[in-house]
């Protein structure tokens, strides 16, 4: 378990509190009950003055290094992070392995500095991964290579802005929108996308921003829009993915305990992580 307790470069605030909250509420014990030994580390900045951009990319470098260490010990890298940008470093840690990325998120995370209206760096995370922006800083992350768009699938999107809609339409990224899943079913929507991925990859990396879930079942952060996938739909989707591909690693991000007073999001997150690990062990 690689904890990244940061949100927008700030330690242990807002969504940066999510990783330790999972640990404090028994995540390691649950995984040990499944049959896995668990190593826990926390990625920290060495800077005495944190800023969003510098700190975020510094963290990506260390995430990459820690993923490389995990893989060298034949361990499954599970990243718990405040922000989605952690997957930049995680994928870099796999070096040249032929992976696909399946990105669960209510939002696009597909803006660039030229298209964003919020300035939120994490809203550019997927754009960084496919090499569209912040190129010099990304190249400084050990092992980083832009991921080809045709090896990316998005699942559960329901709150894209106009610029992201245009950019996604012009890309080769495959989309399984929330509305499509509701209308056609999980398996029916996902299977054609997974079939198109399967010819070109040897495994998948799962990125799960927890706001892909419906806040009625799992309130997780202040950005979470209404509706969204149910825990049961997520289980069906992950089991479908695991039936077709080895799951090589996973990130679970964007959980703010303050937005979850009844611990429904916590329970959903613990169940989701356990499900992923069980799928890996099969």
CA distance 255 to 46: 24
Provide the residue range defining the domain that includes 263.
2-281
Q: How many residues does the chain have?
A: 282
pLDDT digits (tens, 9 = 90+) for 36-81: 899 999 999 998 888 999 999 999 999 999 999 999 999 999 999 9
pLDDT of residue 179: 98
Instruction: Calculate what percentage of the chain has a pLDDT beyond 70.
Output: 100
pLDDT digits (tens, 9 = 90+) for 231-251: 999 999 999 999 999 999 999
CA distance 1 to 38: 7
What integer best gives the mean pLDDT of the chain? 96
pLDDT of residue 230: 98
**27 burial level (CB within 10 Å; 0-12, 13-18, 19+):** buried
Count up the domains in the chain and report the number: 1
Buried b (16+ CB within 10 A) or exposed e, 95-115: eeeebbbbbbbbbbbbbbeeb
The residue with greater pLDDT, 270 or 281, is 270
pLDDT of residue 97: 81
Per-residue pLDDT band at 258 (split at 50, 70, 90): very high
Closest CA to 161 of 215, 115, 104, 130: 115
Query: What CATH number is attached to the domain comprising 137?
Result: 3.40.800.10
pLDDT digits (tens, 9 = 90+) for 173-204: 999 999 999 999 999 999 999 998 877 798 99
Buried b (16+ CB within 10 A) or exposed e, 3-20: bbbbbbbbbeebbbbbbe
pLDDT of residue 96: 65
């Amino acid at each position: 378990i690689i904890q990244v307790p940061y949100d927008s470069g700030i330690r242990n605030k807002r969504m940066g509190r999510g990783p330790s909250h999972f640990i404090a509420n028994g995540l390691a014990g649950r995984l040990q009950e499944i049959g896995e030994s668990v190593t826990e580390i926390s990625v920290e900045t060495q800077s005495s003055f944190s800023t969003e951009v510098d700190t975020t990319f510094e963290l990506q470098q260390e995430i990459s290094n820690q993923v490389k260490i995990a893989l060298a010990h034949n361990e499954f890298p599970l990243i718990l992070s405040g922000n989605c940008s952690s997957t930049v470093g995680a994928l870099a840690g796999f070096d040249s392995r032929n992976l696909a990325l399946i990105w669960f998120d209510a939002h696009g995370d597909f803006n660039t500095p030229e298209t964003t209206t919020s300035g939120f760096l994490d809203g550019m995370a997927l754009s960084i991964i496919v090499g569209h922006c912040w190129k010099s800083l990304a190249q400084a992350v050990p092992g980083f290579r832009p991921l080809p768009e045709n090896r990316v699938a998005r699942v559960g999107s329901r709150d894209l802005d106009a610029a992201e809609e245009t950019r996604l339409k012009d890309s080769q990224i495959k989309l399984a929108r929330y509305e499509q899943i509701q209308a056609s079913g999980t398996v029916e929507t996902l299977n054609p996308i997974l079939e198109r991925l399967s010819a070109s990859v040897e495994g998948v990396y799962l990125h799960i921003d927890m706001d892909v879930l419906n806040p009625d079942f799992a309130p997780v952060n202040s950005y979470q829009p209404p509706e969204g996938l149910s825990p049961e739909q997520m289980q069906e989707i992950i089991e479908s993915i695991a039936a077709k591909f080895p799951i090589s690693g996973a990130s679970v991000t964007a959980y703010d305990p303050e937005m979850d007073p009844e611990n429904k999001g916590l329970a959903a997150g613990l169940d989701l992580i356990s499900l992923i690990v069980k799928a890996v062990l099969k």
